[in-house]
Amino acid sequence: MTTALITGASAGLGAAFARRLAADGLDLVLVARDRGRLESIANELRATHGVRIEVLPADLTVPWARARVERRLTATVEPIDLLVNNAGVEADDELPAAPMTDLQAEIDLNVTAVLRLTRAALPGMLARDRGSVINVASFAGYLPARGSAYGASKAWVLSFTDTVAASVAGTGVRAIALCAGRLRTARHAQVGPPGSPLWIEPADAVDVCLRDLSRGRRLSTPGWLYRLLVGTLEAPRRSLRLLARLAGRGREQQPPTPRPVDPAAAADPEQTMRLAA
Ligand X SMILES: NC(=O)c1ccc[n+]([C@@H]2O[C@H](COP(=O)([O-])OP(=O)(O)OC[C@H]3O[C@@H](n4cnc5c(N)ncnc54)[C@H](OP(=O)(O)O)[C@@H]3O)[C@@H](O)[C@H]2O)c1
Residue 23 makes contact with ligand X by CB under 6 A:
no
CB-CB contact of 85 with 134 (8 Å) = yes
230 to 86, 178, 206, 224, 237: CA distances (angstroms): 20, 12, 18, 10, 11
Catalytic residue among 142, 150, 160, 226: 150
Indicate if 226 belongs to the active site.
no
State yes or no: residue 59 binds ligand X (CB under 6 A): yes
Piece of the chain touching ligand X by CB under 6 A; list 21-29, 33-41, 71-79, 235-243: 33-41
Q: Specify the DSSP element, H or E, that contains 223.
A: none
Pick out residues in 84-123 that bind ligand X (CB under 6 A): 86-89, 109
Q: Which stretch binds ligand X (CB under 6 A): 12-20, 21-29, 118-126, 158-166?
A: 12-20
Rounded CA-CA distance 132/151 in Å is 24
Interaction of residue 265 with ligand X, rule CB under 6 A: no
Closest distance to ligand X from the beta carbon of 33 (Å): 3
CA distance 21 to 201: 16
Q: How many residues bind ligand X (CB under 6 A)?
A: 28
Please state the closest distance from residue 25 (CB atom) to ligand X, in A. 22
Count the Cβ atoms, other than its own, within 10 Å of residue 105: 18
Smaller CB separation from ligand X, 10 or 272: 10
Contacts of 37-44 with C-beta under 8 Å, sequence gap 24+, read 37/10, 37/11, 38/9, 38/10, 40/10, 41/9, 41/10, 41/15
Beta carbons within 8 Å of 63's beta carbon, 6+ residues apart: none
130 touches ligand X by CB under 6 A: no
Catalytic positions, written as ranges? 150
Q: Which residues bind ligand X (CB under 6 A)?
A: 7-14, 32-34, 37, 59-61, 86-89, 109, 136, 138, 180, 182-183, 185-187
